[in-house]
Amino acid sequence: MTSLDFSLCDADNHYYESRDAFTRHADRKMAGRCMQWATIGGKERLLVGGKVQHFIANPTFDPVARPGCLDDYFRGKVAKSDMREAFGELVPIPPEYRDRDARLTVMDDQGLEACFMFPTLGVGMEEALSHDLPAAAAAFRAFNRWVEEDWGFAYQGRIYAVPYITLVDLDMAIEELEWALSRDVRTLCMRAGPVHTVGGTVSPADPRFDPFW
């Protein structure tokens, strides 16, 4: 077997957002329209635009599912009628899910040279704020500062965390892109679908977005 003179790069890692991922750098004037936390029925719930979000059952990610817990499910080796049952017993969130230096140690053990890290909770939040476009733009501006601060866009040349950019506000999208590029970002996360605008949804390929592209 031919040996390789390079290690693997995982192009589909994910970070588990911290509790303050959307709030640490939030504009206080927009707080009530963006993300907030509340204790409801003894459980921590994430409010988005003042409503409990249901995109992820436990947005605190603690406890969390074990790695690979759905492998047998997707291979058709087990029959589970309830997806929650298929996840099995949850475990306390490991340090490497939220700490970049702990993640590098695990990557060393796994033989990974580098990885791209995408949002988990974040990918559902643009749609959750589609009714309030200024709030969506503000929320992701705050979110991207958290990504850069906690993970870095090119940490030690190995962890390439990915910011989320929305086109709901073109001027802000361009500002966010330029800000991220100035910090050595390598790739972006964007909603794979129509862009919400004040006049309705339009294609991201619409000429109005040419200044961004």
**What is the per-residue pLDDT across 147-191, written as a single tens digit (0 to 9) for each?**
999 999 999 999 999 999 999 999 999 999 999 999 999 999 999
171 SS3 class = helix
Tokens of 11: 């192009």
**Mean pLDDT along residues 76-92:** 82
Cis-peptide into 63, omega within 30 deg: yes
Contacts (Cβ under 8 Å, ≥6 apart) of 136: 125, 126, 129, 130, 166, 168, 169, 196
What would the pLDDT profile of 92-118 be if each residue is shown by its tens digit?
A: 999 999 999 999 999 999 999 999 999
Angle at 115 between CA 86 and CA 76, to 5 degrees: 25
Segment 20-43, tens digit of pLDDT: 999 999 999 998 999 999 999 999
Strands 43-48 and 51-52: antiparallel
Q: Which residue has the tokens 């796994």?
A: 110
Residue reference for tokens 């073109």? 170
